[in-house]
């Protein structure tokens, strides 16, 4: 098993992006992706280079254009840089855990595949971020700002990310209203 840290939640688009480079990648909400300094400012640690199984899905990839995480198992998808997301042939193949019956205290649930852009986004808030698969406006200077939000696949997997260490806060606390697996009638994300 191999693990790569340095992945982050973007407070602007609600997607997962790689935060380990100086350039943070193109955000569909405009400008670059941005990790929050509080709240969701975790350093997510992702498994890669292992086979998938009943509770883990392979074919998740880093996009060299937008620095976001996307699912490469379907054709299509949309990159905020334009066109489709694109992987580096030499890059890791990530394997994401989902729907495991037990949730551990260092794991964060409510991550979902977006049918619009094929990215991974956090679905635990009422707002659904900004999706590069939706219409956009061009700002002065040429920056693309997408207007619509991410959308989950109705019968899609519920992904869980490992919060190995953190910037803040000390540990993830499960939203008691949402529970695990997510309760659609009570969880704002579902
Ligand atoms: Zn972003
Ligand atoms: Zn991309
Ligand atoms: Zn999306």
Which of these, 52, 75, 49, 80, lies nearest to 64 by C-alpha position?
80
Ligand nearest to the CA of 132: 3
Q: What was the pLDDT predicted at 1?
A: 62
d(CA 98, CA 118): 16
Q: What was the pLDDT predicted at 39?
A: 85
pLDDT tens, position by position, 6-41: 999 999 999 999 999 999 999 999 999 999 998 899
Q: What was the pLDDT predicted at 182?
A: 83
Mark the residues whose beta carbon lies below 5 A from ion ligand 1: 10, 12-13, 27, 33
CB count in 10 Å sphere of residue 78: 23
Which residues, 6+ apart, have CB-to-CB distance to 159 below 8 Å?
57, 96, 97, 98, 109, 111, 112, 113, 120
Ligand 1 centroid from CA 28, angstroms: 6
Q: What was the pLDDT predicted at 170?
A: 46
Q: What was the pLDDT predicted at 168?
A: 44
Residue ranges in the chain modelled with pLDDT below 50: 167-170
- In the structure encoding, which two tokens stand for residue 139, read together? 């700002």
């Amino acid at each position: 098993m191999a693990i790569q840290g340095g992945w982050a939640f973007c407070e602007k688009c609600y997607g997962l992006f790689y935060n380990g480079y100086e350039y943070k990648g193109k955000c569909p909400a405009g400008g670059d992706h941005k990790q929050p300094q509080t709240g969701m400012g975790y350093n997510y640690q992702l498994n890669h280079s292992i086979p998938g199984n009943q509770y883990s899905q392979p074919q998740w990839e880093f996009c060299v254009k937008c620095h976001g995480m996307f699912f490469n198992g379907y054709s299509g998808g949309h990159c905020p840089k334009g066109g489709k997301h694109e992987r580096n042939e030499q890059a890791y193949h990530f394997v994401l855990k989902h729907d495991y019956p037990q949730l551990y205290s260092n794991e964060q649930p409510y991550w979902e595949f977006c049918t619009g852009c094929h990215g991974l986004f956090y679905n635990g808030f009422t707002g659904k971020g900004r999706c590069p698969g939706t219409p956009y406006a061009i700002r002065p200077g040429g920056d693309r700002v997408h207007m619509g939000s991410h959308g989950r696949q109705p019968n899609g997997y519920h992904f869980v990310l490992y919060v190995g260490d953190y910037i803040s806060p000390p540990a993830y606390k499960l939203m008691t209203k949402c529970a695990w697996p997510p309760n659609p009638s009570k969880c704002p994300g579902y």
